[in-house]
Amino acid sequence: MNDEARPPAKAPRRAAEIVPQARMSGPIPWVIAIMVALMAIAAAGGLALRNTGNAAAVELSGGITIQIIEARPAERERQAAAALAVLKQVQGITEARIVPQEELDALVEPWLGDAATGAGADEAGVPVPALIDARLSGALTPERLAKLQAVLRPAAPSARVDAQSTWLKPVFGAVVSLQWLALALIVLLSCATGAAVLLAARTALGNNRETIEIVHLLGGSDAQIAGIFQRSIGIDAASGGVAGLAAAIVVIALLGRSFAALQAGIVTGSALGWTDWAAIALIPVVVAALATVTARWTVMRALRRML
Amino acid sequence: MTHPGEGEIVQFDNVGLRYGTGREVLSDVSFTLYPGCFYFLTGASGAGKTSLLKLLYLAQRPSRGAIHMFGTDAITLPRERLPMLRRRLGVVFQDFRLVPHLSAFDNVALPLRVAGVAERDLAQPVADMLEWVGLADRMSARPATLSGGEQQRVAIARAVIGRPQMLVADEPTGNVDPEMAVKLLRLFEALNRLGTTVVVATHDAHLLRKVPDSLIIRLDKGRVSDPTGALRYPPRRPVGPA
């Protein structure tokens, strides 16, 4: 049945939209879905890196390594035992142990192979320093390390004291840089989302200019007209945001499984907690709010130029 | 500068209008409109009728002069208060200006929705109004499926649904046959008898004779003349339904 043949005096049941609405048909929901997915992945990466850094910092806090750099095996073993004995007398040392030869071999084996670390290597292969793994309570300052070095020198002249955190300082630096990179990506993507919404609002205004003028002349206020556009764009942004978040969760879960399979010490502490997931879930909410505010600002600004 | 008194609905004082840097399309226009009167705005094509109507329905600000409407200075009125003034007007545009994606019902309901009337309160008045203009069976039709005359009547229904204090119609009979033109005029007269001031712009001299009590504002090259003396000697007649 066409419009012409409809029965009389039956008012439409639902109020029609003053400006035509076309949910999920324009580019905006899809642009926002992509932006939210990228933001969520970047945020997940940043949060995982933060967790990694925090876990490593806890693991390494107070940790020190004493290397006995001595080519002669017998003298190396003597100095290691003497150093351990001295360490156990030093106030503030909570834990100390000589790293067993098997662990040392396993550590250097990937680089030097069996020839350097296997039986008889001491005579024919590369001399590997003896290691003492110790933990010091309180803050690890360069002054404390220098003092410890001085205490050990009479018993073990070949000993060298290093804070474990020093080894990973460049790694921590890189982790912090990557966190900033993730934050910068989120900010850039937010700006791009705002720009896309601004363009979409302007296009929608242009496409509906005639209707807007009519509504104005019938007594419609700027706030009413802006409300129509902000609601429409807000709904589009929320729909796109939810779709983007769902896609991001799948990607994050897959990436998490891949990293977990590495079983590398540095990634074991990177798992996302529920607060991290809550922060990621907030992204589409923030994006929808940003899109709504941007749409309102754009439309109000454009309407002020009309009479 | 004079100010409108209690009984005056519109007052123009030395109003001039130019678009951009072009010549003035309206010059030194001064007149007063009174409540409950029926005015014809006449003049040849290009005389400035549509421009004058745009000033009347607040779609345009003048380049100079003063306009008072309903006791308010319409030129210095802050932008946010313009909608309240516009809601006291009903406008029939020359090209109807119906919203193409809305049905006849929704087009007529538009001023009420804009004014914040609840859906449950607008369905019956809109249906009654469409019945009054003879379109009760075309409520769901979109403008593109309506004839010129039907679109005209939807535009009129939309203009009067909010019971405006002043109805402004730009060549409302320009697109309809003579029989429909008379019918539309009768609609305007009926509205006028209910107390609404009516301003109809037309270049059709025959139409003027069909409303005997009407007053004429003639425009000639952007200037107002006063052939009936109605502008210089305003009528004294009761305001409100006859």
pLDDT 10s digits, A249-259: 999 988 888 87
- A14 within some domain: no
Residue A137 confidence class, pLDDT cut points 50, 70, 90: confident
Highest-confidence segment of A198-207, A243-252, B131-140: A243-252
d(CA B81, CA A179): 50
Q: How far apart are CA A113 and CA A129, in angstroms?
A: 16
> What tens digit of pLDDT does each residue of A39-78 get?
999 999 889 888 887 877 776 777 888 888 888 888 888 9
The predicted model gives B209-237 an average pLDDT of 77
Together in a domain, A201 and A251? yes
* Closest among A36, A196, A68 to A132, alpha carbons compared: A68
User: What is the distance between the alpha carbons of residues A292 and B120, in angstroms, rounded to a whole number?
Assistant: 29
Is A214 in contact with B127 (Cβ distance < 8 A)? no
E-state strands within chain A: 63-68, 93-98, 130-136, 159-163
- Rounded-to-integer distance, Cα A61 and Cα A51, Å: 15
Residue B187, judged by CB atoms within 10 A of its CB (0-12, 13-18, 19+), counts as buried
> How many Cβ atoms from other residues are within 10 Å of residue A135's Cβ?
17
Residue numbers in A near B141 (CB within 8 A): 3-4, 6
Q: Tokens 């790694």, residue?
A: A171
Query: Could you count the other beta carbons within 10 Å of the beta carbon of residue A153?
Result: 14
Contact A6 B91 (CB under 8 A): no
B109, closest residue in chain A (CA to CA): A15
Residues A265, A139 share a domain? no
Across B108-126, b (16+ Cβ under 10 Å) vs e yields: bbbbbbbbebeeeebbebb
Residue A285 within any structural domain of the chain: yes
For residue A256, what pLDDT is reported? 83
| Cβ distance of B99 and A211 shorter than 8 Å | yes
> Considering the domain boundaries, does residue A162 fall inside one?
no
- Pair (A253, A298) in one structural domain: yes
Averaged pLDDT score across all residues of chain A: 81
Instruction: Identify the pLDDT of residue A128.
Output: 82
Beta partners for residue B39, in sequence order: B199, B215
Q: Which residue has the higher pLDDT, B166 or B79?
A: B166
- Find, in chain A, the residue whose alpha carbon is nearest to that of B111: A218
Beta pairing partners, B16: B64
Residues A93, A118 within the same domain: yes
A292 & A236 share domain? yes
pLDDT tens track for B163-200? 899 999 998 877 677 777 787 888 888 889 888 999 99
Q: Are B10 and B198 in contact (CB under 8 A)?
A: no
Q: Which helix (H) or strand (E) holds B17?
A: strand B10-18
- Of A157, A180, A196, the residue at which a domain comes to its end is A157
Residue A2 lies in a domain: no
Find the range with the poorest average confidence among A6-15, A181-190, A220-229, B108-117: A6-15
Maximum C-alpha span of chain A: 109
Q: How many residues does chain A have?
A: 307
Q: Identify the CA nearest to A244 among candidates A34, A68, A48.
A: A34
pLDDT over 70 at A10, yes or no: no
* A77 and A178 belong to one structural domain: no
SS3 A56: helix
Q: Are residues A46 and A176 in the same domain?
A: yes
**Are A134 and A182 in a shared domain?**
no
Amino acid at B3: H
A112 is a domain residue = yes
For B35-55, what is the mean pLDDT? Answer: 89
pLDDT (tens digit per residue) in B82-101? 999 999 999 999 888 999 98
Q: Rounded mean pLDDT of A177-200?
A: 89
B154 pLDDT tier (thresholds 50, 70, 90): very high
- Cα separation values, A135 from A95, A97, A159, A161, B40, Å: 5, 10, 16, 12, 100
Q: Give the separation between CA B123 and CA B119, rounded to whole angstroms.
A: 6
Taking an 8 Å cut-off on Cβ atoms, the answer to whether B137 and A8 are in contact is yes
Instruction: Determine the Cα–Cα distance for residues A134 and A132; give it in Å rounded to an integer.
Output: 6
Residue B189: which of B42, B38, B33 has the closest Cα? B38
pTM above 0.90, yes or no: no
Cα angle for residues A57, A61, A63 (degrees, 5° grid): 125
Given a cut of 50, is residue A9 above it in pLDDT? no
pLDDT, tens digit (0-9, with 9 covering 90-100), for A68-110: 888 888 888 899 999 989 888 888 888 888 888 888 888 777 7
Evaluate whether B83 touches B74 at the Cβ level (below 8 Å). Answer: no
Residue with tokens 């990937």: A110
Q: Which residues of chain B does A210 touch, with a Cβ-Cβ cutoff of 8 Å? A: 97
Whether residue B241 is predicted with pLDDT greater than 70 in this model: the reply is: no
What is the C-alpha end-to-end distance of chain B, expressed in Å?
A: 33
Structural domain count, chain A:
2
Name the interface residues of A facing B (CB cutoff 8 Å): 2-4, 6-12, 15-16, 18, 20, 210-211, 213-222, 224, 304, 307
In this structure, are A112 and A218 located in the same domain?
no
Rounded Cα gap, residues A19 and A12, in angstroms = 17
Which of the pair, A202 or B5, is modelled with greater confidence?
A202
Least confident piece of the model among A5-19, A65-79, A124-138, B55-69:
A5-19
Q: Which of the listed residues A99, A128, A157 is the one where a domain comes to its end?
A: A157
A196 lies in some domain: yes
Identity of the residue numbered A40? A
Helix, strand, coil percentages for chain B (3-state, nearest 5): 35, 25, 45
In a domain, A129, yes or no: yes
Q: Which two tokens stand for residue A35?
A: 């932006």
Nearest CA distance, A197 vs chain B (angstrom): 24
Closest-approach residue (CA) in chain A for B87: A219
pLDDT at position A153 over 60: yes
Q: Is B27 left (phi over 0), alpha (psi -120 to 50) or beta?
A: beta
- Cβ of B106 within 8 Å of Cβ of A15? The answer is yes
CA distance B67 to chain A (A): 15
Cβ-Cβ contacts under 8 Å between A and B: the total is 93
CB count, 10 Å around CB of A267? 18
Are residues A192 and A148 part of one domain? no
Domain boundary among A157, A183, A205: A157
Q: Which residues of B touch A (CB under 8 A)?
A: 57-61, 79-80, 82-84, 86-87, 91, 97, 99, 101-103, 105-106, 109-111, 113-115, 119, 123-124, 126-127, 131, 136-142, 145, 158
Whether residue A129 is found in the same domain as residue A268: no
Question: Could you tell me what percent of chain A has a pLDDT over 90?
Answer: 18
Q: Are A35 and A241 in contact (CB under 8 A)?
A: no
Domain around A176: 22-57+170-306
Mean pLDDT of A271-284: 90
Out of B58, B83, B103, whose CB is closest to A12?
A: B103
3-state secondary structure of B33: strand
Contacts with B59 from chain A: Cβ below 8 Å = 213, 217, 307
Q: Shortest CA distance to A157 belongs to which of A67, A90, A79, A66? A: A79
> Do residue A120 and residue A240 come from a single domain?
no
Q: What is the helix (H) or strand (E) element at residue B129, kind and residue range? A: helix B119-132
Q: How confident is the model at residue B144 (pLDDT cuts 50, 70, 90)?
A: very high
A186 belongs to a structural domain:
yes
